[in-house]
Amino acid sequence: MRQVSDKPLTDDEVQALDAYWRAANYLSVGQIYLLRNALLTEPLQAEHVKPRLLGHWGTTPGLNMLYVHLNRAIKQRDLNMMYVIGPGHGGPAIAANTWLEGSYSDTYPDVPRDEHGMNHLFRQFSFPGGIPSHVAPELPGSIHEGGELGYSLSHAYGAVLDNPDLVVACVVGDGEAETGPLAASWHSNKFIDPRTDGAVLPILHLNGYKIANPTILARIGDDELTSLLEGYGYRPYLVDGDDPQLVHQSLAATIDHVLDEIADIQSEAKADPSAPRRSWPMIVLRTPKGWTGPREVDGVLIEGTWRAHQVPLSGVRTSPEHLALLEEWLRSYRPEELFDETGRPVRQLLDQVPDGHRRMGSNPHANGGILSRGLELPDLSEYAVDVPHPGSVKHEPTRVLGTFLRDVMQANEHERNFRVFGPDETASNRLDALYDVTNKAWNAEVLPTDEHLAVDGRVMEILSEHTCQGWLEGYLLTGRHGWFSCYEAFVHLVDSMVNQHAKWLKVTRQLPWRRPISSLNYLLTSHVWRQDHNGFSHQDPGFIDHVVNKKAEVIRVYLPPDTNTLLSTAAHCLASHDYINVIVAGKSPQEDWLDLEAAELHCARGLGVWDWASNDGGDPDVVMACAGDVPTLETLAAVSLLREHVPGLKIRVVNVVDLMRLQPASEHPHGLPDAEFDAIFTTDKPIIFAYHGYPWLIHRLTYRRHNHDNLHVRGYKEEGTTTTPFDMVVRNDLDRFHLAIDVIDRVPGLGQRAVQARQWLVDQRTRHHAYILEHGDDLPEVRDWHWPLQETSS
Amino acid sequence: MRQVSDKPLTDDEVQALDAYWRAANYLSVGQIYLLRNALLTEPLQAEHVKPRLLGHWGTTPGLNMLYVHLNRAIKQRDLNMMYVIGPGHGGPAIAANTWLEGSYSDTYPDVPRDEHGMNHLFRQFSFPGGIPSHVAPELPGSIHEGGELGYSLSHAYGAVLDNPDLVVACVVGDGEAETGPLAASWHSNKFIDPRTDGAVLPILHLNGYKIANPTILARIGDDELTSLLEGYGYRPYLVDGDDPQLVHQSLAATIDHVLDEIADIQSEAKADPSAPRRSWPMIVLRTPKGWTGPREVDGVLIEGTWRAHQVPLSGVRTSPEHLALLEEWLRSYRPEELFDETGRPVRQLLDQVPDGHRRMGSNPHANGGILSRGLELPDLSEYAVDVPHPGSVKHEPTRVLGTFLRDVMQANEHERNFRVFGPDETASNRLDALYDVTNKAWNAEVLPTDEHLAVDGRVMEILSEHTCQGWLEGYLLTGRHGWFSCYEAFVHLVDSMVNQHAKWLKVTRQLPWRRPISSLNYLLTSHVWRQDHNGFSHQDPGFIDHVVNKKAEVIRVYLPPDTNTLLSTAAHCLASHDYINVIVAGKSPQEDWLDLEAAELHCARGLGVWDWASNDGGDPDVVMACAGDVPTLETLAAVSLLREHVPGLKIRVVNVVDLMRLQPASEHPHGLPDAEFDAIFTTDKPIIFAYHGYPWLIHRLTYRRHNHDNLHVRGYKEEGTTTTPFDMVVRNDLDRFHLAIDVIDRVPGLGQRAVQARQWLVDQRTRHHAYILEHGDDLPEVRDWHWPLQETSS
């Protein structure tokens, strides 16, 4: 591995940097251990120590070392720099540094840069009512939690997109590097335009150990490690050592060198737009885990081993020896040289702090809402499809949406603040109108046969849902807007990432200084009912169930039944903030039910009676509810069958776009008040509910509603294979015949005519199934079915 | 990249291999397109073609090419070889090859190796009532679906563990290679013992394109690609070309070479157990996507581009030109040379087929249930803790479980068919007794300070839940047993993998020839209520919600409340088959409630009244139900508060271990009959249910029960941070005070004494919360609380 042998620092500079580092280390240890006596003005007593010691020391000194050296570079070069740390449990480091530089006190005036503030800083860390032990939304300068490992690098790359002046120093822990999402995200460098995007400086922190094991990358030898990183498209520079004085020189020289190299790559690309992709520099920092902490405790080696991962000294309140060791450790940083008697950092430290927004704890990109500008959204009427009568025309909803997204892209081109993300599926999901105005980002080799690839493309495609999600989160958190389209079944790949983002949003909503960011918008398409061709592995509508466990104020779920409702929903979501919006909509040709005006009204209400499909005259025999495009189609087909075969039956059709309307108002901000719910769903009539996903979810949302005992839900019950579209609904008892039978079985007193109708429906179902097995296709009467009642109902 | 330049084949051998390849390609195209006229005995007509064309051609010819060459090596060396293909949508290739070799007809006698069988083979593919388009459980020889990409390599490594004679040829698609799980799993080679494990031969199929884009690995140049693969610890050999004759020579020579190298690595390791890890050979196969298919259609280039991904020729039934192109394409393989007039493969092909179980479609490892031997399980009484009275002792449940797992490991050491998997957490989860009898598998560098690392260790730790899961699935699918312990919150990382495994199990249960395999057993610990120290990012009990959407016959969820119930549950799960068992249990010191006899009875029943904690005399005023260790503790503490402060109140305590007992018997095989449910939960008394996870799940499971309207559930409602254990339950209204208040609020007619008690409970709650905020710890009366009623109740 390359090493830079320059020694750019004078002795005074080494001493100054080291003092800053010692101060950060002191403040880190203080946070983990101390309740009071922050300046050690009196001898350390057991009661000065926290009763519960919670924090991670192992990674912290390395993070501190990097922070002070990055500050040096920021000052020297007036850099616009953010710090993303994969080892997010190294929270004490970031709290320490942001306090030292003043960002913390600017954000939290009750934690000033003095002795009082230092005591507050220490006490609140990992303390009830205080701040978490990890880097979290509460910490200024951060966009990255790091509690769940693997996303640092994709977040960093998302942040630098369209921020050509920004450099994100991204620390990758060598533990984190073993995760799949991190392993995939190294390749993000093939999606960066050195002219119009900023730069990520990855810093692999090779401190050697995880909680209980050595790390793989620390134990494969330098040759394999170098090959691996070069194979990922980087030029790794090694900084290696355990003598702080030598590491200061080496790290300063290396940071100078890699920043020069980054500047060179960027200026070369600007000079010659056709210049081929170059490998970006990165740093491998090999320093001991728990560096400068206790070397040995109770005869066991701590520093430089996995035992330094969390709290190296325990039982401090009860063991006088450990208490003495702690005091010795704290005093080893010579706090009296670092802070004046008021607790304020001494001038030598303050002189090293970058100015204002250049401080990494105050970089506005890390509080993206500050920088965010709303998207310009074109008038929906330009994209809406004409619907003379319900069901009289068909469109591919996502294809029409693609034309809208295309023009959103174009309308905001001057701001360069909108991107579309997807795992190789943007065209498959029929959003390819986007390629009329932009391309797919691609900075690797291009062949003449390739289409729509360009280094400055604004559609981000990589076959990694994790990387797409990480990029998008980084992009949103730094104040921009995005759209993620994904096969419905495979969005489960990012379940856990969504959890973390939902948690982040939940906390930031409680922090007034964190400004709202644009919502995370999912379009889940190629959904369970239209993956008949790919089969069982591609059929899973459970992402909705997953997200609704998160905080109600953060989660929105929409099931637009046709093209115009999809347009209306999409425009609404793109203008929203601080939500996770999940939209499920098909890409296949699909009946249009509502014109734009009706669609916008319906979406605004979230659910409602479709009068044109109902004949209940205000007093239904049955409510047929539906949510999702295919269930809506089957419901309406069932209605038409019932109208014909059970005349006189009074059916009310209710369509649900905004799933959260089903919950009580006490449970979700969108929840329909009980009186309204009762007015629509009745309190005593059977409800046959055709639902897109797993049927139990509807029960879970409505169990407190008065008419719940009459609710009967059909949905996906995990039956599927490679087959026809209609066979899919038949297999799951969601087909029109079965829904009609459900109605007959539940409405009392329908008489002999209904008995005959029921038998006819059973026979039809059998006939269709037999045809499918014989011919491998659906009967034309299903494929070409259309709502027959427009004349009478309009 | 290395290339092998030998030409080991005679012209006759090339011709024979090519004939076999053409036969496989012909059969593949036939499956995608033809309904009948399989042998093309008459000119192709539109009605011979399927109405819906569903399949993936692009990857198929490469997969076929590999299959025939692997057959050659199997015959030459009498290899025990399996074929795992990441591009699982290349299903036609595996169906074609297993039919050619006879494995398919052995498994499905109704699809014989003749014209009738060939017609059946073609028709059933991607056809309703037939087989899926992807490699799926229905295909003999497979353990890997591949519909969701990323798991081929971890499955392959799982399969070779403890199978020293086995070689798994694992095709990694270059699309799949972009996924996180795949990117992480290359490092699996650091966990393989060349003496006691088999070998994986990775074959990176660099065919250049995904659905709509080039692949990254195809566009970074050979130097970076070579570096990357060498960095992953492999020696890559390139086979590159589009002329089949040349590729046959090159591929044969390369396979010979890499198999020699594998044999050399294994024999060297056997000769010198201390030999350092060597890089394993692998193959990079660069051939055109859609090779031998239509080169151009309608003036657009197909072969060698992303357009060959799925069906290169569409509209075949309506376009005479396309129909002619299809016929030309099919006839280009010269089927008349490959099959005799009865449709049977000609002698030249049959001669190339390996014998019996050496055929990859008949390898017994791919139907692991055949080879599976039940685990020897030690008698639980040796591990059970002594419980003189309920709540009179405390243990760390997982630590005790560790001693049991240790002895399971030892008792089955002679079979080498049990391993424990975990992402760096086995010791953190307190299962470290395992290290008394085995080590952690590790074949990278070892330092003197390391502990419990050994090349033949049977605990598998890597900081990648995806890789752990993939290894374990591969291990189970090949007939062995395993145990996966994981932090509860982060098991969501594998949500999507669990989906796929559950789907696999659901299908295999319907295939009589697929023999049952050992269950996938999760121990979720470090759970939501005991991640108070790590904070919000580590708190998520939603995995249960996720799995219960899968087929009821596959899913089991257990919440043992103490040590002996955990032991009983674990033993039960380890002896079970074809399930996904989710066990949630804490690692912190925890009251023991049941002795072993009571625990085993309670677990067998799944739920039941705890008489010793109840005073209802058969007629309760309220049912206090609980599921999970912390909810059980808080419930019992609430009971003791109520006994003291609301004397006369008749409380029935019900504990639930087997969550699926709550569902109706019609919904789940474990569902309690309604009459029993009513007898336990009453039909008219309030139920206060303290639940481990998101409270809605209990409603979703019980909404059909008679007493559902009286059910009131407390659980995790997404409130948490770094705090104390008791503050966690307070924040979520699951604490003893709140539960007791819930009871008072819901039981009518309790009188003035209860009003006073309620106020006292509210005051206590406030007092505790204030103490926590002040002191950063729970009051001793919480930490040291114990069930006070053993004397009177026993």
B281 in the same domain as B207: yes
A194 in the same domain as A67: yes
Q: How many percent of chain A have pLDDT more than 70? A: 99
Residue B714 sits in a domain whose CATH number is 3.40.50.920
Residue of A nearest to B305 (CA): A449
Residues 6+ apart with CB under 8 A from A274: none
Instruction: Let me know if residue B25 belongs to a domain.
Output: yes
Contact B142, B363 (CB under 8 A): no
Instruction: Let me know if residue A649 belongs to a domain.
Output: yes
Domain-terminating residue out of A330, A353, A370: A370
B614 in the same domain as B583: no
The mean pLDDT value of chain B amounts to: 96
Q: Which of A213, A301, A302 to mutate to test the interface with B (most CBs of B within 10 A)?
A: A213
Instruction: Take residue A284 and report the two structure tokens written for it.
Output: 């491998």
A688 in the same domain as A579: no
Domain-terminating residue out of B591, B625, B659: B591
Mean pLDDT of B148-154: 96
Instruction: Let me know if residue B386 belongs to a domain.
Output: no
| Calpha distance A347→B414 (Å, rounded) | 68
Contact B293, B308 (CB under 8 A): yes
B258 in the same domain as B109: yes
* Closest listed residue to residue A392, CA positions, set A788, A792, A725: A788
The confidence band for B794, taking pLDDT boundaries of 50, 70 and 90, is very low
Angle, CA of A529, A530 and A531, to the nearest 5°: 100
Task: Give just the sign of the alpha carbon dihedral B211, B217, B218, B220.
Answer: positive
Q: Which of A139, A172, A188, A721 to mutate to test the interface with B (most CBs of B within 10 A)?
A: A721
A657 in the same domain as A729: yes
Instruction: Take residue A559 and report the two structure tokens written for it.
Output: 């099931």
Residue contact A534–B133, C-beta within 8 A: yes
* Closest listed residue to residue A330, CA positions, set A25, A692, A785: A25
Domain-terminating residue out of A311, A335, A370: A370
Contact A210, A306 (CB under 8 A): yes
pLDDT number for residue B87 = 87
Read off the pLDDT of residues B574-617 as tens digits, 9 standing for 90 and up. 999 999 999 999 999 999 999 999 999 999 999 999 999 999 99
- In the 3-class helix/strand/coil scheme, how is A616-675 assigned residue by residue? CCCCCCEEEEEECHHHHHHHHHHHHHHHHHCCCCCEEEEEECEHHHHCECCCCCCCECHH
Read off the pLDDT of residues A411-435 as tens digits, 9 standing for 90 and up. 999 999 999 999 999 999 999 999 9
| Calpha distance A80→A69 (Å, rounded) | 14
Please give the DSSP secondary-structure letter assigned to residue B275.
P
Statement: residue B314 has pLDDT above 80: yes
Least confident of A226-230, A307-311, B414-418: A307-311
| Calpha distance B490→B482 (Å, rounded) | 19
pLDDT number for residue A790 = 64
Please give the DSSP secondary-structure letter assigned to residue A280.
E
The mean pLDDT value of chain A amounts to: 96
Other beta carbons within 10 Å of B243 = 10
Instruction: Take residue A25 and report the two structure tokens written for it.
Output: 């280390």
B362 in the same domain as B479: no
Contact B669, B770 (CB under 8 A): no
B715 in the same domain as B622: yes
Domain count, chain B: 3
Instruction: Let me know if residue A387 belongs to a domain.
Output: no
Q: Which residues of B touch A220 (CB under 8 A)?
A: 190, 231, 233, 444-445
Nearest CA distance, A206 vs chain B (angstrom):
15
Instruction: Take residue B111 and report the two structure tokens written for it.
Output: 């699809």
Read off the pLDDT of residues A542-600 as tens digits, 9 standing for 90 and up. 999 999 999 999 999 999 999 999 999 999 999 999 999 999 999 999 999 999 999 99
Instruction: Take residue A486 and report the two structure tokens written for it.
Output: 């994904």
Residue A492 sits in a domain whose CATH number is 3.40.50.970
Q: Cα torsion for B172, B175, B178, B183, to the nearest 10°?
A: -10
DSSP string, A155-176: HHHHHHTT-TTEEEEEEEETTG
Read off the pLDDT of residues B346-365 as tens digits, 9 standing for 90 and up. 999 999 999 999 999 999 99
Mean pLDDT of B229-238: 98
Residue, of A123 and B534, whose pLDDT is higher: A123
Please, which residues bridge with residue B338 across strands?
none
Instruction: Let me know if residue A385 belongs to a domain.
Output: no
Residue B147's domain comprises: 11-370
Q: Give me the residue from B221, B534, B694 closest to A549, CB to CB.
A: B694
Q: Name the packing angle between helices B60-77 and B244-271 (round to 10°).
A: 50
Q: Which of A122, A216, A528, A727 to mutate to test the interface with B (most CBs of B within 10 A)?
A: A216
CB contact, 8 Å: B370 with chain A? no
In chain B, the N- to C-terminal Cα span, in Å, equals 75
Q: Which residues of A touch B220 (CB under 8 A)?
A: 190, 231, 233, 444-445
- The gap from C-alpha B539 to its chain's centroid, in whole angstroms, comes to 22
b/e per residue, B571-607, with b = 16+ CB within 10 A? Answer: bbbbeeebbbbbbbbbbbebbbbbbbebbbebbebbb
DSSP string, B647-710: TT--EEEEEESBGGGGSBTTT-TTPBPHHHHHHHH-SSS-EEEEESS-THHHHHHHTTSTTGGG
| Calpha distance A12→A335 (Å, rounded) | 19
Pinpoint the alpha helices (H) of A493-591.
495-508, 543-547, 563-574
Q: Which residues of A touch B126 (CB under 8 A)?
A: 533, 722
Q: What are phi and psi of A238, to 5 degrees?
A: -95, 130
Please, which residues bridge with residue B84 across strands?
B170
Other beta carbons within 10 Å of A347 = 9
DSSP string, B602-664: HHHHSEEE-GGG---TT--SEEEEEESHHHHHHHHHHHHHHHHHSTT--EEEEEESBGGGGSB
B718 in the same domain as B579: no
Q: Which residues of A touch B215 (CB under 8 A)?
A: 463
- Checking DSSP bridges between strand B622-627 and strand B590-591, what pairing results, if any? unpaired
Residues 6+ apart with CB under 8 A from A356: A362
B425 in the same domain as B307: no
Read off the pLDDT of residues A437-482 as tens digits, 9 standing for 90 and up. 999 999 999 999 899 999 999 999 999 999 999 999 999 999 999 9
pLDDT number for residue A662 = 97
pLDDT number for residue B57 = 94
The pTM of this model reads 0.97
A15 in the same domain as A131: yes
Contact A462, B216 (CB under 8 A): yes
CB contact, 8 Å: A589 with chain B? no
Statement: residue A156 has pLDDT above 90: yes
* Closest listed residue to residue B167, CA positions, set B139, B130, B140, B192: B192
Identity of the amino acid at A786: H
A577 in the same domain as A629: no
The interface residues of chain A toward chain B in range 765-784, judged by CB-CB distance below 8 A, are 772-773, 775-777
Identity of the amino acid at A554: V
Residue of A nearest to B730 (CA): A128
| Calpha distance A387→A381 (Å, rounded) | 12
pLDDT number for residue A532 = 85
The confidence band for B273, taking pLDDT boundaries of 50, 70 and 90, is confident
pLDDT number for residue A794 = 37
Read off the pLDDT of residues A357-409 as tens digits, 9 standing for 90 and up. 999 999 999 999 999 999 999 999 999 999 999 999 999 999 999 999 999 99
Contact B403, B430 (CB under 8 A): no
| Calpha distance B547→B542 (Å, rounded) | 9
pLDDT number for residue B676 = 97
Q: Say whether the ipTM exceeds 0.95.
A: yes
Statement: residue B793 has pLDDT above 70: no
Instruction: Let me know if residue B302 belongs to a domain.
Output: yes
Statement: residue A792 has pLDDT above 70: no
Read off the pLDDT of residues A679-708 as tens digits, 9 standing for 90 and up. 999 999 999 999 999 999 999 999 999 999
| Calpha distance B381→B377 (Å, rounded) | 11
CB contact, 8 Å: A174 with chain B? no
pLDDT number for residue A793 = 41
Q: Which of A440, A533, A537 to mutate to test the interface with B (most CBs of B within 10 A)?
A: A537
Q: What are phi and psi of B522, to 5 degrees?
A: -105, 135
Instruction: Let me know if residue B2 belongs to a domain.
Output: no
Instruction: Let me know if residue A596 belongs to a domain.
Output: no
Read off the pLDDT of residues B495-532 as tens digits, 9 standing for 90 and up. 999 999 999 999 999 999 999 999 999 999 999 999 88
